[in-house]
């Protein structure tokens, strides 16, 4: 049985990734909510059809009975991380990609993100061109866990081009300040490299977690690194309950807990 405050929304969608096809919710100082609707083209036209997903953000805003702001920028919710205090993190490999926004300059993209998300500062990370499902979404690289604190992956011990990009993103974040001028603290977690699946799209990211009221949903894979990351999460979120979810069936699709959810302010 569902709680009374849970509503089921029926919509004709093409995929399951609510983070990317859904609206990015906004809330003003008076507590009034709204939703930003970016254009959606299935991660650079990788999948067809995607008309249902492209209309999903509008259906959610209508059901939530909130005003929506429509952008001409092709973007996905997994391509941004925000701190709620004016700072936005995104990647060079995603929104500036020609498969999404041909003709848009980086400056124009940054201006639009600030306008549509209520931001004051955008931090650009290199991203990861090897992650070709989303072209390097930031929610698998770096996410705010609190204002001034970012969770990122640490590179594995084995030399690889993938680990090189992890290092490049860490280096780019090092020394960054947020919109309020605070130096950002970086906390790192490993990848779940021992996860048993050999599926090429399998998501091994602990960074791709989900904050809820009073808690945090942590992905687990049934491997030794789960224990290490559990300890880190408990220290990061002493006032939240840490709940673990085995995500193999989700991860095979190339995403994680963060990708398949999208928070709505209470």
Spatial distance between the Cα atoms of 23 and 209, rounded to a whole number of angstroms: 18
Separation in Å, CA 13 to CA 42, 66, 70, 199, 257: 12, 20, 19, 24, 18
Spatial distance between the Cα atoms of 119 and 211, rounded to a whole number of angstroms: 20
The catalytic site residues sit at: 259
Question: Contact 143/151 with Cβ under 8 angstroms?
Answer: yes
Question: Contact 87/119 with Cβ under 8 angstroms?
Answer: yes
- Quickly count: other Cβ atoms within 10 Å of residue 7's Cβ: 8
């Amino acid at each position: 049985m569902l709680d009374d405050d849970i509503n089921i929304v029926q919509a004709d969608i093409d995929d399951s990734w609510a983070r990317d096809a859904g609206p990015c919710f906004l809330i003003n100082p008076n507590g009034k909510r709204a939703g930003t609707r970016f254009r959606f083209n299935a991660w650079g036209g990788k999948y067809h059809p995607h008309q249902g997903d492209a209309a999903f953000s509008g259906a959610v805003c209508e059901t939530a009975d909130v005003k929506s702001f429509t952008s001409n920028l092709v973007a996905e919710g997994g391509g941004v991380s925000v701190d709620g205090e004016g700072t936005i993190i995104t990647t060079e490999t995603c929104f500036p990609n020609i498969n999404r926004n041909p003709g848009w300059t980086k400056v124009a993209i940054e201006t639009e993100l600030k306008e549509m998300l209520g931001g004051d500062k955008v931090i650009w990370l290199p991203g990861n061109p090897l992650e070709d499902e989303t072209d390097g979404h930031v929610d698998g690289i770096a996410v705010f866990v609190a204002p001034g604190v970012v969770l990122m992956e640490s590179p594995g011990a084995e030399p690889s081009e993938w680990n090189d990009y992890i290092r490049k993103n860490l280096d780019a974040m090092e020394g960054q300040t947020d919109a309020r001028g605070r130096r950002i603290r970086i906390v790192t977690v490993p990848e779940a490299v021992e996860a048993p699946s050999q599926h090429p799209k399998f998501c091994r990211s602990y960074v791709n977690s989900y904050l809820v009221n009073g808690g945090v949903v942590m992905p687990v894979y049934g491997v030794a690194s789960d224990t290490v990351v559990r300890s880190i999460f408990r220290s990061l979120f002493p006032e939240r309950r840490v709940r673990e979810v085995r995500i193999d069936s989700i991860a095979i699709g190339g995403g994680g807990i963060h990708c398949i959810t999208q928070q709505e302010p209470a």
